[in-house]
Structure formats: structure tokens, C-alpha cells
């Protein structure tokens, strides 16, 4: 038993669901990666590299510090672990990161165009624009820096050019729904683009209202974490 067991179980459960539903690009491969921030620590629980999700067990999930040093687990963490850590460093409002190779988002990623605000319920969940992180090979510093440069837009979903997508959120279940919403939006956007007809986006006033709700939610999570840190500092 370890204090990280609950995190490991949750990372595995959501990873398996993503894999079974094809969000990692294949249902039997090892692509994609999932992580959760360990509350109150500069550490994450993250999926291991090159291991099939259907054989993965909770004890296979790695616990790694922000300094990338292993804390627990027998396996090598995902090569995209530095990208996950970089995301947690930049975005205080997030506690989960999912990197996928999902089909329709990948289609838009090869068009190299951001997805504009198209639907109320999607913008209310994921923010204004799904921006594109420029292409760089997997696991490289260049790719991680590209992700960090886009994360400041406070959205919850990103396309990675000629690669896939990344979703971030306040918990893993919510982030899973962002993966689904991104896929739905990307599919509808692809269908609409294929017609060659002009596309209508949400009116700017509506977008402003929806984004204000998203940011207020993020601010509440940042305030909750700051209150925890202050309480811990007082106890110390």
C-alpha cells in the first residue's frame, strides 16, 4: 500500500477507457499518456512508456517528481512526462493531463488550423479556441516548449500539429469529458469544412460570457490550492 495508490488506480481506469474507445489512435497500442497531479506535492502519477493499457496494472503507473526523478514504480515513465510537468507548472488551475491521438482532432491537426468557438456547451467546458501547438518530434524539448507557449490561453484542449491532441482539466474525469467534447467538435468542424461553405462561429458577446464562466471556475481552483498551501504553511 502506498499513499499514491488511489492516483494510480484512477490514472489506469481512465487510460483503459480512453484506449478501449480508440482515443489513443489504436485500441491495442501503447500511444498516448495520462497523468494526475499529486495534491500538495510537486509530483505526478503518469502512465509508463511502451506498455499496453489492457495488461497495465495500478502498480505499473509511475510516480515522478517535477524534477523528473522517479519516486515510485518499476517502469520508465512516458517520454512525454516533461510535457505533462511543464503543463502543471504553467497552469495552476489543472490537476490532470491527457495526451491522445484521437481521430477527428488529429484530422484538424494536419490542417494546422485552430478550432474556433462553435457550440455553447463546448466553449463553456473547454474555453474559446482550440489552438495548434507547432509540430516537433515526440518527447523533444521543442515540443514541450511549444505546448507551454500555448497553455497561457487558458483553454482546456489543444491540437498538436501532425500528431494529436492534449486536454487539461481540474480532475481526470472532467478532462476525459474534454477529450470527448474535442472529438465531437473536431468531427463536426471537419464535416462542415468538407462542404467548402462558409462556417459560422459563436457571436463574440456569447463567447465572452462563456469564457468568463470558464475562467471563474479556474480562478476558484487556484484559490482553493492557494488556501491549502497557506494552511500547510501555518501548520509547519
Q: Which residues contact 23 (CB under 8 A, 6 or more apart)?
A: 32, 100, 101, 102, 179, 183
Closest CA to 172 of 107, 113, 94: 94
- Phi (first) and psi of residue 70, to 5 degrees: -65, 140
The H-or-E segment that residue 230 falls in is helix 204-235
Q: How far apart are CA 195 and CA 111, in angstroms?
A: 15
Q: Which residues contact 124 (CB under 8 A, 6 or more apart)?
A: 210, 213, 214
DSSP reduced 3-state for 130: strand
DSSP reduced 3-state for 79: coil
Cell of 230: 497557506
Q: How far apart are CA 31 and CA 39, in angstroms?
A: 26
Instruction: Kindly name the residue from 39, 42, 80, 121 that is annotated as catalytic.
Output: 80
Beta bridge partners of 62: 46
Total residues belonging to the chain: 236
Q: Does the annotation mark 142 as catalytic?
A: no
Annotated active-site positions, please? 80
Amino acid at each position: 500500500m502506498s499513499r499514491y495508490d488511489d492516483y494510480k488506480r484512477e490514472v489506469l481506469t481512465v487510460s483503459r477507457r480512453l484506449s478501449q474507445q480508440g482515443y489513443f489512435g489504436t485500441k491495442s497500442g501503447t500511444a498516448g499518456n495520462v497523468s494526475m497531479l499529486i495534491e500538495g506535492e510537486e509530483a505526478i502519477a503518469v502512465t509508463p512508456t511502451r506498455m499496453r493499457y489492457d495488461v497495465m496494472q495500478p502498480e505499473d503507473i509511475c510516480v515522478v517528481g517535477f524534477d523528473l526523478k522517479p519516486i515510485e514504480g518499476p517502469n520508465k515513465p512516458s517520454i512525454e512526462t516533461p510535457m505533462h510537468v511543464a503543463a502543471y507548472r504553467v497552469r495552476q488551475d489543472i490537476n490532470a493531463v491527457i495526451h491522445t491521438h484521437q481521430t477527428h482532432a488529429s484530422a484538424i491537426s494536419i490542417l494546422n488550423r485552430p478550432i474556433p468557438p462553435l457550440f455553447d456547451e463546448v466553449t463553456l467546458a473547454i474555453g474559446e479556441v482550440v489552438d495548434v501547438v507547432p509540430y516537433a518530434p515526440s518527447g523533444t524539448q521543442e515540443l514541450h516548449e511549444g505546448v507551454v507557449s500555448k497553455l497561457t490561453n487558458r483553454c482546456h484542449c489543444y491540437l498538436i500539429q501532425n500528431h494529436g491532441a492534449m486536454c487539461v482539466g481540474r480532475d481526470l474525469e472532467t478532462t476525459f469529458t474534454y477529450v470527448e467534447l474535442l472529438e465531437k467538435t473536431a468531427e463536426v468542424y471537419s464535416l462542415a469544412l468538407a462542404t467548402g461553405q462558409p462556417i459560422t462561429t459563436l457571436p463574440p458577446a456569447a463567447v465572452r460570457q462563456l469564457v468568463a464562466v470558464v475562467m471563474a471556475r479556474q480562478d476558484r481552483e487556484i484559490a482553493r490550492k492557494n488556501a491549502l498551501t497557506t494552511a500547510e504553511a501555518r501548520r509547519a
